Amino acid sequence: MGRLDDKVCLITGGARGQGAEEGALFSSEGATVVLTDVLDEDGEKAAAGIDRAEYLHLDVSSESDWETVVADVMGRHGRLDVLVNNAGIDLVKRLEATSMDEWNRLVAINQTGVFLGMRAAANAWIAAGTGGSIVNISSVAGLQGVVGHGAYTGTKFAVRGLTKAAAQEWGRHGIRVNSVHPGLIETPMTADLKPFRDPDVRVKAERNIPLGRMGQSIDIANMVLFLAGEESSYCTGQEFTVDGGVHN
């Protein structure tokens, strides 16, 4: 028996990286997986390579997209058990150089997208009289300020706060909400960061990680799996750091 047998799990940002890794792991544990993204070609390819997986287009910053996708999943599968708010973007730029367009784009995807997803799932669960698990992917930048990533840091702190408020409000409905805070994880989104493109910088970075290595997508997927399943049934409103021991 898998840990997610008969569960229906929706994962945003599922076309590649952490989202695709989470989808593959969830499927191996018995779940029906709905990958969503705006990268349709990559998303279709990712879903085709995973058992019991499908792909749906979803712009997480769009209220109407969220309503359509959640209604579609509930209508076709009769249930939704897990939502993983994984979609996100980064911006490597100091605050004084950040434009309003850049700021608004980060907030729309990283912060508003998480709010819209949580609200859509919670409304469906409350109406159906069922509970569920929401896992929000934040960052270690949601735990401390990061130089050169000010706008990103602001949105990731917001995700942490939204997680805690939602856990307080929706616990009585059997809805659990937790956040995961990855450190340096090797994904397509982080490929342009110095630790992943400069071997010398990578060596120096790994010296500062107690476990001595960069993180991989599977490291995050394993934590998300724990929070999605019954093993974490008494955990809500908490942040779970996955960074090799840097923040302890």
Known catalytic residues? 152
Q: Which two tokens stand for residue 174?
A: 């059997």
Q: In terms of residues, how long is the chain? A: 248
In contact, 25 and 218? CB cutoff 8 Å: yes
- Residue among 35, 22, 24, 29 at smallest CA distance from 7: 29
Q: Is 245 left (phi over 0), alpha (psi -120 to 50) or beta?
A: left
Tell me which amino acid residue 98 is.
T
CA–CA distance, 160 with 56 (Å, rounded to integer): 26
Longest dimension (CA), the chain: 54
- Residue among 65, 74, 70, 171 at smallest CA distance from 112: 65
| Residues near 138 by beta carbon (within 8 Å), at least 6 away in sequence | 156, 157, 159, 160, 163, 179, 180, 181, 239
| Residues near 92 by beta carbon (within 8 Å), at least 6 away in sequence | 148, 149, 192, 193
